[in-house]
Amino acid sequence: MNEVILKVLCEDEAEEQKFDQIANVIDLYKKERGSLIQILHLAQEIFGYLPMKVQKFIAHNMGLPLSEVSGVVTFYSFFSTQPRGKHTIRVCMGTACYVRGGKKLVERLQELLETDLGGTTEDGKFSFEIARCIGACGLAPAMMIDGEVYKQVNPNKLESILAEY
């Protein structure tokens, strides 16, 4: 990408380095058919999320319409267009978890974290999501933090679980 355009996109030198890393990823994979999702995953790892300026950069460097890149980003739930927290909390809302108190976990976490579903805490520590099923149905309700599963969780246990992080 033209260096002048890159300078306009970047707020600081650290961000410019991230765009350089993304450019390297694009160079590695853009000739592979169907590589957009892989490039977006790696760009999200580098940048932390996929704001519009990153999507524009990827579209331009891959020779794709921005609508195609943005369409993929907004279609798949594992991509985020907003900054994410250091830790991701996912409360299972599958049938077993829901009927055994999953909704109460969500309500209590909203109070404790002071954020809504899909949000990130003000301090950037936690992002809060629901999951359709995490495979712990026999020990419902369950939730995950960064891939670690917590089983038979009740609202009273949440503060001590969060204190670990």
Tell me the Ramachandran region of residue 19: left when phi exceeds 0, alpha when psi lies from -120 to 50, beta otherwise: alpha
Q: How high is the pLDDT of residue 127?
A: 94
Question: Do residues 55 and 93 both lie within one domain?
Answer: no
Residue ending a domain, among 47, 75, 103, is 75
Residues 75-114: tens digit of each pLDDT: 987 798 988 899 999 999 999 999 999 999 999 999 999 9
Task: Please list the ranges in the chain whose pLDDT falls under 70.
Answer: 1-12
Residue 90 CB coordination number (10 Å): 19
Residue ending a domain, among 45, 75, 105, is 75
Residue 96 CB coordination number (10 Å): 16
Q: Is residue 58 part of a domain?
A: yes
Q: Is residue 81 part of a domain?
A: no
Residue 104 CB coordination number (10 Å): 15
Question: Do residues 71 and 93 both lie within one domain?
Answer: no
Residue 100, amino acid: R
How many domains are there within the chain? 2
Question: Do residues 101 and 62 both lie within one domain?
Answer: no
Q: How high is the pLDDT of residue 3?
A: 54
Q: How high is the pLDDT of residue 1?
A: 46
Question: Do residues 125 and 155 both lie within one domain?
Answer: yes
Q: Is the dihedral of CA 35, 118, 157, 93 positive or negative?
A: negative
Question: Do residues 103 and 71 both lie within one domain?
Answer: no
Question: Do residues 65 and 114 both lie within one domain?
Answer: no
CATH, residue 133: 3.40.30.10
Residue-range definition of the domain harbouring residue 41: 3-75
Question: Do residues 56 and 99 both lie within one domain?
Answer: no
Tokens for 161, please give them: 């679980």
Q: How high is the pLDDT of residue 152?
A: 97
Instruction: Mark 15-32 as b/e (b = at least 16 C-beta within 10 Å).
Output: eeebbeebbebbeeeeee
Q: SS3 for 90-135, per residue?
A: EEECCHHHHHHHHHHHHHHHHHHHCCCCCCECCCCCEEEEEECCCC
Distance CA 83, CA 20 (A): 20
Q: How many CA atoms lie within 13 A of 18 on its CB side?
A: 20
Question: Do residues 40 and 64 both lie within one domain?
Answer: yes
Q: Is residue 82 part of a domain?
A: no
Residue ending a domain, among 75, 101, 117, is 75
Question: Do residues 69 and 8 both lie within one domain?
Answer: yes
